[in-house]
């Protein structure tokens, strides 16, 4: 009898301890995502990661610094294939392409954009995605939580994230389609969080002597607005939960005419709609075209003398349906 | 045939071939297989985190200089040194040359033909949690969704610009699951 009681008490303790342990160990996935978002911006780190998409695998190094003034600097270096770097300092992003001897300079667009609606991210996301802790694992020698982010419908992709238990930095991520197939993944093989980062590490290692600099904003030829081109573009279809977060009207290097750029987001996935006026032969291909780059799909079509292109980390079907729904109204 | 060769190499790397003399002979004589062999090892090193902390771009030339200036302390016997030093020097230089050649050829390969499916990696290295991903029970699948199977890389300059702009705005979002600029670094560009 005593044995039975002891067994019962032991079982109770075991169950109770497991319950308590689970509660203590498993964090709230929503909070974890929030912490990850902050850590990605606020911490100083230097890491090497693999980016796998389609049939390609690239190795890259990222150095991220946030200084005392809150200014963020980043340097992304391609360690495989072509020697390329992207350097971001405050509002300026420089793309260094040594194989083409080109530096593409982009001024941060945030000042030029008209903010329309910036949702409170996590609260919004949970309406369209289910978050759950899938377990834990190790990435780059660090203990990580695995979070599954599952979409509520077929118009968006799912994600699997590995988040460092200590620093809360993202160590690995997978973009998945509705069949659970991985479309692209990023995995750090080395990650070092540092108290400070020497500014010299944020300077390009490539000598840019003789490189042609292309300024995406300053080099533009301003085209006077035409009376007959005051169309307003609207989308009659968008997956539930997507709302317009930004809008811009700026030229891009391939066209002297301004290109309208509408950005929609459900808080996690982003969809861009580009509307570009067809001038002369700047756009040759008239047939609708769909392209893919890892998890990003694009769909282009022509309507009413304009090229409409939808770009986003959403299924091909979604970008096609969106682009086809774009209509002009005078 | 090519895929079959890759499969054999992959199995060889995994040490799962019992009679591999013929494969090794073939590997030594076939430049393409040598390249594939090197790529598979590079991928393996990437996934296991065995990449060096810093990539020294002058590694080959520096090593050559070191070899050229290598003192003969390990070969006190003069006669022995005269015979052996060039041989050892050649052996190391040859390995450096192979490394350099592979490095150059590696840069010329576009796109990388190796896929995850052709590399037999240990299951736990690939992803121990791959099967944990399933969609929720109340998952809404719309009817009559047309699947498009066309496939193409972004090689068009206009689309490249769109992708750059799109990635930049995506980077502004607080919620970032994939480093948006990673897509741009190795984007195909036109001359």
How do the pLDDT tens digits run along chain B, 191 residues long? 567 777 777 777 766 666 667 777 777 777 777 778 777 777 777 776 666 666 566 666 676 666 666 544 433 344 433 333 333 333 333 223 222 222 222 222 223 233 333 333 333 333 334 334 555 555 555 444 333 333 333 346 677 777 777 776 665 554 444 455 666 655 554 43
On average, the pLDDT of chain A sits at 80
For residue B40, give the chain A residue with the closest CA.
A57
> Poorest-confidence range of A137-146, A203-212, A250-259, B88-97?
B88-97
Residue A202 has pLDDT above 50, yes or no: yes
Reported as a pLDDT band with limits 50, 70 and 90, residue A121 is low
Chain A positions in Cβ-Cβ contact with residue B150 (cut-off 8 Å):
290
Reported as a single tens digit per residue, the pLDDT across A69-118 is 888 888 988 898 778 888 888 778 888 888 878 888 877 544 332 333 33
Nearest CA-CA distance, residue B176 and chain A, Å: 7
Residue A196's pLDDT band (cuts 50, 70, 90): very high
CA end-to-end span of chain A, whole Å?
A: 88
A291 to B154: CB separation less than 8 angstroms, yes or no? yes
User: Among A10, A205, A105, which Cα is nearest to B56's?
Assistant: A205
Cβ within 8 Å of residue A205, ≥6 positions away: A77, A85
Nearest to B134 by CA among A161, A158, A296: A158
3-state secondary structure A117-169: CCCCHHHHHCCCEEEEEEEEEEECCEEEEEEEEEECECCCCEEEEEEECCCCC
End-to-end CA distance of chain B: 34
How far does B120 lie from chain A, in Å, by closest CA? 15
| A82 contact residues in B (CB cutoff 8 A) | 107, 186
Tell the CATH topology of A29-212.
Answer: outer membrane lipoprotein receptor (LolB), chain A (2.50.20)
Calculate mean pLDDT across residues A239-258: 76
Higher-scoring residue by pLDDT: A222, A217: A217
**ipTM of the prediction greater than 0.95, yes or no:** no
Q: How far apart, in Å, are the Cα atoms of A169 and each of A34, A41, A173?
A: 11, 9, 11
**pLDDT above 80 for A64:** yes
Better-predicted residue by pLDDT, A200 or B1: A200
> Residue B98: what pLDDT?
28
Question: Using omega within 30 degrees of 0 as the cis cutoff, is the peptide bond preceding B111 cis?
Answer: yes
pLDDT surpassing 80 at residue A220: no
pLDDT for B150 equals 35
Determine the length of chain B.
191
Which A-chain residues 3-32 have CB contacts (< 8 A) with chain B? none
Q: Do B184 and A158 touch (CB under 8 A)?
A: no
Give the angle B177-B106-B180 at the CA atoms, nearest 5°: 15
Could you identify the residue written with the tokens 């007959």?
Answer: A228
| pLDDT at residue B160, rounded to an integer | 73
H-run or E-run covering A245: strand A243-252
Cβ pair B169:A109 closer than 8 A: yes
pLDDT tier at A180, thresholds 50, 70, 90: confident
pLDDT of residue B156: 60
Examine the pLDDT at A259 and tell me if it is beyond 60.
Answer: yes
- Rounded to a whole number of angstroms, the CA Rg of chain A reads 24
Q: Which residue has the higher pLDDT, A185 or B117?
A: A185
As a whole number, mean pLDDT of residues A213-227 equals 51
Q: Do A204 and A88 touch, CB atoms closer than 8 A?
A: no
Q: Which residue has the tokens 């033909």?
A: B113
Q: Do A82 and B186 touch (CB under 8 A)?
A: yes
Does the beta-carbon distance from A135 to B129 stay under 8 Å?
yes
CA–CA separation, B191 and B183 (whole Å): 19
Of chain A, the percentage scoring pLDDT greater than 90 comes to 27
Residue B15, helix vs strand vs coil? coil
- Chain-centroid distance of CA B28 in Å reads 19
Taking Cα atoms as reference points, which of A24, A138, A313 lies closest to residue B129? A138
Instruction: Report pTM.
Output: 0.61
- Across the strands, what pairs with A45? A64, A193
* Contact present, A76 and A186 (Cβ < 8 Å): no
- Compute the distance between CA of residue A209 and CA of residue A81 in angstroms, rounded to an integer: 21
pLDDT of residue A163: 93
| Exposure of A247 in the CB half-sphere (CA atoms within 13 A) | 10
Residue in A with minimal Cα distance to B138: A152
Task: Say yes or no for a CB contact (<8 Å) between A272 and B162.
Answer: yes
How confident is the model over A139-171, as pLDDT tens digits?
999 999 999 988 988 899 998 999 999 999 999
| Angle formed at CA A286 by CA A283 and CA A289, multiple of 5 degrees | 100
Specify the pLDDT at position A283: 60
Where are chain A's structural domains? 29-212, 221-329
What is the third-level CATH fold of A221-329? Phosphorylase Kinase; domain 1 (3.30.200)
């Amino acid at each position: 009898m005593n044995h039975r009681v002891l067994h019962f008490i032991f079982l109770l303790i075991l169950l109770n301890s497991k319950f308590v342990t689970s509660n203590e160990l498993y964090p709230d996935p929503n909070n974890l995502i929030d912490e990850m978002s902050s850590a990605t911006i606020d911490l100083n780190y230097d890491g090497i990661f693999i980016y796998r998409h389609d049939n390609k695998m690239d190795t890259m190094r990222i150095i991220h610094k946030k200084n005392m003034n809150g200014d963020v600097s980043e340097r992304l270096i391609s360690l495989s294939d072509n020697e390329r770097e992207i350097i971001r300092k405050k509002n300026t992003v420089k793309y260094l392409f040594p194989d083409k001897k080109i530096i593409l300079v982009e001024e941060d667009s945030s000042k030029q954009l008209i903010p329309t609606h910036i949702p409170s991210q996590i609260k919004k996301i949970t309406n369209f995605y289910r978050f759950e802790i899938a377990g834990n694992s190790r990435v780059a020698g660090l203990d990580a939580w695995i979070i599954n982010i599952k979409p509520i419908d077929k118009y968006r992709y799912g994600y699997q994230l590995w988040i460092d238990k200590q620093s809360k930095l993202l160590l690995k991520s997978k973009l998945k389609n509705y069949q659970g197939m991985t479309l692209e993944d990023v995995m750090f093989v080395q990650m070092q969080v540092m108290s400070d980062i020497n500014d010299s590490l944020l300077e390009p290692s490539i000598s840019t002597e003789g490189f042609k600099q292309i300024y995406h904003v300053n080099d533009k030829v301003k085209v006077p607005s035409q009376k007959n081109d005051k169309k307003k573009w609207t989308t009659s279809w968008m997956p539930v939960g997507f709302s317009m977060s930004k809008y811009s009207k700026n030229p891009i290097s391939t066209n002297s005419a301004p290109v309208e750029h509408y950005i929609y987001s459900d808080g996690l996935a982003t969809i861009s709609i580009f509307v570009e006026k067809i001038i002369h032969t700047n756009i040759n291909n008239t047939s609708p075209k769909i392209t893919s780059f890892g998890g990003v799909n694009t769909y282009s079509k022509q309507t009413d003398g304009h090229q409409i292109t939808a770009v986003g980390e959403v299924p091909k079907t979604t970008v096609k349906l969106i682009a086809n729904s774009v209509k002009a109204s005078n | 045939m090519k895929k079959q060769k890759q499969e054999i190499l992959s199995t060889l790397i995994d040490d799962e071939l019992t009679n591999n003399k013929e494969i090794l002979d073939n590997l030594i004589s076939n430049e393409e297989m040598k390249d594939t062999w090197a790529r598979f090892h590079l991928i393996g090193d990437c996934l296991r985190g065995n990449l060096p902390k810093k990539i020294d771009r002058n590694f080959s030339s520096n090593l050559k200089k070191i070899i050229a200036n290598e003192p003969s302390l390990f070969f006190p016997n003069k006669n022995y040194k005269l015979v052996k030093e060039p041989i050892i020097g050649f052996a190391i230089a040859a390995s450096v040359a192979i490394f350099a050649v592979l490095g150059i050829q590696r840069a010329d390969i576009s796109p990388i033909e190796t896929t995850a499916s052709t590399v037999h990696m240990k299951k736990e290295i690939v992803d121990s949690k791959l099967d944990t991903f399933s969609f929720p029970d109340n998952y809404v699948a719309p009817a009559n969704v047309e699947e498009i199977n066309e496939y193409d890389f972004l090689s068009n300059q206009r689309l490249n610009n769109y992708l750059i702009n799109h990635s930049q705005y995506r980077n502004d979002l607080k919620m970032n699951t994939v480093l948006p600029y990673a897509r741009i670094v190795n984007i195909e560009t036109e001359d």
